[in-house]
Amino acid sequence: MFFYRASKKQGSMSLAIIYSRTNDGIDAPLVSVEVDTGNGLPSLSIVGLPETAVKESRDRVRAAILNSNFEFPARRITVNLAPADIPKDGGRFDLPIALGILAASGQIPLDAVNKYEFIGELSLGGQLRSVKGVLPTAFAANKANRGLFVPSENASEAALISNLSVYPATHLGQVTAHLLALELITPHAHTVSMQQASYQVDMADVKGQLQAKRALEIAAAGGHNLLMVGPPGTGKTMLASRLATILPPMTEAEALETAAIASISDQGFKIKNWGLRPVRDPHHTSSGVALVGGGAKVRPGEISLAHNGVLFLDELTEFDRKVLDVLREPLENGEISISRAARQATYPARFQFIAAMNPCPQGYDCDFKDNCRCTPEQQKRHRSRLSAPLLDRIDLHIEVPRLPRKDLQSGEPGEPSASIRARVVAAREYQYVRQGCHNSALDSRSIDKYCQLAEADSALLARAMDKFRLSARAYHRILKVARSIADLAGSESIQTPHIAEALGYRSLNLSETSRNEVTFTQ
């Protein structure tokens, strides 16, 4: 929106102001595009901390205005992007700058645009090209009670905000025709609804591995992290790729958060992914910045792109240890704060962490017992790639052994994802009715309230903590896993079998003797 600050007389100085928005993390702060046309040698300068792409808009805007049959003012034009302390990047300011020049020179009426915001990149011919980060802009524009003009390719994304008036345009001339009331643009209809998740894979494809399936169901029910250890070819990746098929459907609030992060990322948001939980599986050569985010422009990383979904790290021990350790704080806090000399940003990162690894470096013939040919020193170096604090933040640790031949050759399908998902959804409903969140999000005060144990079960857990020197974090995570197991069983309280099963999922990183002792104690 814009308005004159001076007389409209020919040759007098005039000022137009139009509102747009930039991206700052997942926020979209307001940017006032102030355009002044004054006396002096013809020129166009842009101030207000513009980056290279914004500075280059001078040539795009000039050509777009002329090729849209408008006059480019032969005056001294100054464009200020306020506030000046927020960096502005990308071509999203082309459209508001062009409209500001046309308004300041009296070619379009000022009173026609006081209820709109504008974003869009211009081609030399005046066509509008899509931009990134539209969803946060649409959310902020709706909150400010203004309509939003966007390139047509971004209209479906902006229209995800149901109460927002979205005006799609393909050309600068189409926008000006609307503002001149010559040809009005029909607002884009909000037609996209939450999708019923549809997957090409199913848990019924997995033969055998009953313990691993049970662990996946518990992880899905409570939102817990899971580590699978086993030789190659035992189905670890196959199991992890099917976790999303048993997770509950996303709520609209979760879908908007996830879509907003994808919108500001380099890959952009695809409307076909609306309402689907993201599943990210970065390669083990990924850097720490790729995982948690950062860079010169502070973009979200894999953990934020997996927000409300699944982050799967295959071949966990092949990742650099320093890269893995950057996951420790996000796993605990559910967000990541990235600080650079010039900019800071905080991104949400609440995801389910699923990891897979071989039990030893050689791995191929290892079956956890007699066939491993690695020396104790090799095994020690292999395990030392994972820090104890990181392992402590993983709720369930399971072995995925080789399948017996009879299970592999069996033609009977396993339990389908739909029936497992029904139990998971029922367990989540118990949790939200009881405490307002899933079990993995419980804080220490809520754990004391909702994860109370009988005296005998408290003694069992105390003996396990003393014997294996479990941390306070491990204690709380065992209780939360036991609570999820009880919810799947429909039990209002945590019983002895629930706490015993939860203890079994924490014993994998101990020695073989220690695991036997845990079983004996239970």
Domain boundary (179, 213, 239) is at 179
Examine residue 227 and state whether it is found in any structural domain, yes or no. yes
- DSSP string across 431-477: HHHHHSS-GGG--HHHHHHH----HHHHHHHHHHHHHHT--HHHHHH
Strongest mean pLDDT among 86-95, 111-120, 165-174, 193-202: 165-174
At residue 1, the pLDDT reads 33
| Residue 393 · residue 328 · CB < 8 Å | yes
CA distance 171 to 100: 16
Domain boundary (363, 382, 416) is at 416
Examine residue 4 and state whether it is found in any structural domain, yes or no. no
At residue 402, the pLDDT reads 83
User: In terms of C-beta distances under 8 Å and separation of at least 24 residues, what long-range contacts does 184-191 make, across chains too?
Assistant: 187/147, 188/155, 188/156, 188/158, 188/159, 189/159, 190/159, 190/160, 190/162, 191/156, 191/159
Examine residue 184 and state whether it is found in any structural domain, yes or no. no
- List the CATH number of the domain containing 141: 3.30.230.10
At residue 495, the pLDDT reads 94
Q: Quick one: 410 and 447 in the same domain?
A: no
Whether omega before 376 lies within 30 degrees of 0, making that bond cis, reads no
Q: Quick one: 343 and 456 in the same domain?
A: no
Provide the residue range defining the domain that includes 377. Answer: 203-416
By DSSP bridging, strand 43-47 and strand 299-300 are: unpaired
Q: Quick one: 140 and 48 in the same domain?
A: yes
Number of domain units in the chain: 3
For the cut 60, the answer to whether the pLDDT of residue 368 exceeds it is: no
**Residue 184 in tokens:** 């009005």
For the cut 80, the answer to whether the pLDDT of residue 5 exceeds it is: no
Q: Quick one: 258 and 405 in the same domain?
A: yes
Q: Quick one: 215 and 170 in the same domain?
A: no
Q: Quick one: 376 and 465 in the same domain?
A: no
- List the CATH number of the domain containing 352: 3.40.50.300
325-330: average pLDDT: 93
| Residue 1 · residue 18 · CB < 8 Å | yes
Tens-digit pLDDT profile for residues 384-416: 889 989 999 999 999 998 888 777 777 677 899
Amino acid identity at 378? Q
Examine residue 9 and state whether it is found in any structural domain, yes or no. no
Lowest mean pLDDT among 5-19, 36-50, 120-134, 248-262: 5-19
| Residue 435 · residue 446 · CB < 8 Å | yes
Amino acid identity at 121? E
Q: Quick one: 118 and 218 in the same domain?
A: no
Give residue 161's Cα distance to chain centre. Answer: 18
What phi and psi, each to the nearest 5 degrees, are found at residue 494? -80, 125
| Residue 162 · residue 193 · CB < 8 Å | no
Q: Quick one: 128 and 228 in the same domain?
A: no
**Residue 417 in tokens:** 């994802």
Percent of the chain with pLDDT over 90: 66
Please, is 199 exposed, middle or buried when counting C-beta atoms within 10 Å of its C-beta (0-12, 13-18, 19+)? middle
At residue 517, the pLDDT reads 38
For the cut 80, the answer to whether the pLDDT of residue 475 exceeds it is: yes
Give residue 448's Cα distance to chain centre. Answer: 31
Examine residue 492 and state whether it is found in any structural domain, yes or no. yes
CA distance 281 to 244: 13
Q: Quick one: 387 and 477 in the same domain?
A: no
Examine residue 190 and state whether it is found in any structural domain, yes or no. no
**Which residues neighbour 6 within 8 Å (Cβ) at sequence distance 6 or greater?**
12, 13, 14, 15
Tens-digit pLDDT profile for residues 228-276: 998 888 889 999 999 999 999 999 899 999 999 999 998 889 888 888 8
Q: Quick one: 411 and 457 in the same domain?
A: no
Supply the DSSP symbol for 232.
T
Examine residue 514 and state whether it is found in any structural domain, yes or no. yes
Q: Quick one: 461 and 375 in the same domain?
A: no
The model's pTM is 0.88
**Residue 352 in tokens:** 């389910």
8-16: average pLDDT: 56
Examine residue 22 and state whether it is found in any structural domain, yes or no. yes
Find, among 92, 290, 112, the residue nearest to 185 by Cα: 112
Tens-digit pLDDT profile for residues 110-144: 888 888 999 999 999 999 999 999 999 999 999 99
Domain boundary (357, 382, 416) is at 416
Q: Quick one: 469 and 401 in the same domain?
A: no
